[in-house]
Amino acid sequence: MSSLYSYSSRHQRLLQLTKLLTSYVNQGRHHQALTLFSQMFVSPELTLDPFAFPLALKSCAALHFPRSVAAIHSHSLKSNLLPNPFVASALVDSYGKCDSIVSARQLFDECPHRNVVVWNAMISLYSHSNDVASALRLFDLMDVPPTVSSYNCIIAAMAESDGGPSRALDFYGRMRASGMAPNLITILALLPACVGVGALSSIKEIHGFAFRNNIHRHAQVGSGVVEAYGRCGCLVNARRVFDLMPERDVVVWSSMVSSYAFHGQADVAMFTLKQMESDNVRPDWIMFLGVLKACSHAGLADDALQFFDLMTKRYGVEACSEHYSCLVDVLSRAGRLKDAYDVIRGMPMKATAKAWGALLAACRNYGEVDLAEIASQALFEMEPENSGNFLLLASSYAGAGRYEEAEMVRREMFERGVKRAPGSSWVISQKQPCAS
């Protein structure tokens, strides 16, 4: 009877400590989590079950402790815990997040029992490291039925890769053909892909599915649909979705304001900002960054300056280097190179390569050689291996008829051993008109 009581007491103690460990991990208190796990591990009164190991591994990955991951892996082997799919998937995930994808794949290949959770962990690692080809190869090798998560991580990776939005939509078609329905994560991954190829019909399809399945009320879906419609020129639908949302946070408001700015409707964007203020939602720096990017894409230099002043003077939002880079970009595109240079010189922080690069590219387009020399010298120090900066300066000289200096730049590039980037091409998809 006493031994039974002792077992019950130890089991209760293990449950309490595991609950505390879970709390530490969920709160991001990873050092405390690993200290507690170590104490549990060395305690002679406790025999750890598989539930504690994935928690400790999550903290190892968050703190980037590959040696700790390896130590837990070693203990898992000795304790015969590796066949447990939750321990195995946590190990695979932790190795990958500690920049050891090779080790993660080796562990994956050695796993005696791989369920879909283990497969998804490895596919997700490849996807998050932008190795879409490896993710696809592994997906095709799956010997268990894939889940929605198997598709989602690949769709998201494709949507963010160069030339990938159309592939993401094709892969989504493959998912639908398998009889699998999308979920919230699928929709959030698909919307940027639809914007990337201007697929208005796909946006309408996704929006319809979200509405029928009551996912449209989710704030992230709402803001994503508003932005997708807005970027594709369907402001009527964007505003309709916006107006029907029961709760609108700063992200949703930002999507609506940016959509108006993107299509040159600065007055409406300003009015929407005032509506946002009356709704007790205060704009933040991320929102204004989105608005400035929209102005940059639309070539609205005066509007960008107006929004920048509004951000810093009326709302007291401190501008960061990204805000300044957007401002330099839109002024440079508009041919206002002196104004763009004045912005760079007046920045309270060091100008980024993005800002100097925007100015240099515009100098080439507008034949401003003196400023091109200043911008290129700054870029040569910041990006000594970037051949594009050398070629832009050389092109600026050649455009002004200064061929000897252009040849000198190319020669300097060759002497420094800077290699020219390979060429590439783009295929632009025809956007569909929006019916009002």
pLDDT tens-place string over residues 283-301: 999 889 988 988 888 888 9
pLDDT digit string, tens, across residues 334-358 = 999 999 999 999 999 999 999 999 9
Q: Which CATH class, in words, describes the domain spanning 1-128?
A: mainly alpha
SS3 259: helix
Looking at residue 211, its pLDDT comes to: 87
Residues 6+ positions from 195 with CB-CB distance below 8 Å: 165, 203, 227, 228, 231, 232
Looking at residue 298, its pLDDT comes to: 81
Question: Is residue 435 scored above 50 in pLDDT?
Answer: no
pLDDT band at residue 49 using 50, 70 and 90 as cut-offs: confident
Looking at residue 195, its pLDDT comes to: 85
Residues 382, 409 contacting (CB under 8 angstroms): no
Residues 232, 203 contacting (CB under 8 angstroms): yes
Delimit the domains of the chain by residue range.
Answer: 1-128, 147-232
Paired tokens of 188: 């959030």
For the beta carbon of residue 39, count every other beta carbon within 10 angstroms: 11
pLDDT over 90 percentage in the chain: 50
Question: Is residue 6 scored above 70 in pLDDT?
Answer: no
pLDDT over 70 percentage in the chain: 94
Q: Which residue has the higher pLDDT, 130 or 112?
A: 130
pLDDT digit string, tens, across residues 13-27 = 888 988 999 999 999
Question: Is residue 396 scored above 90 in pLDDT?
Answer: yes
CA atoms within 13 A on the CB side of 342: 6
Mean pLDDT of 99-108: 88
Distances (CA, A) of 253 to 45, 166, 184, 271, 344: 55, 28, 20, 12, 29
Residues 248, 242 contacting (CB under 8 angstroms): yes
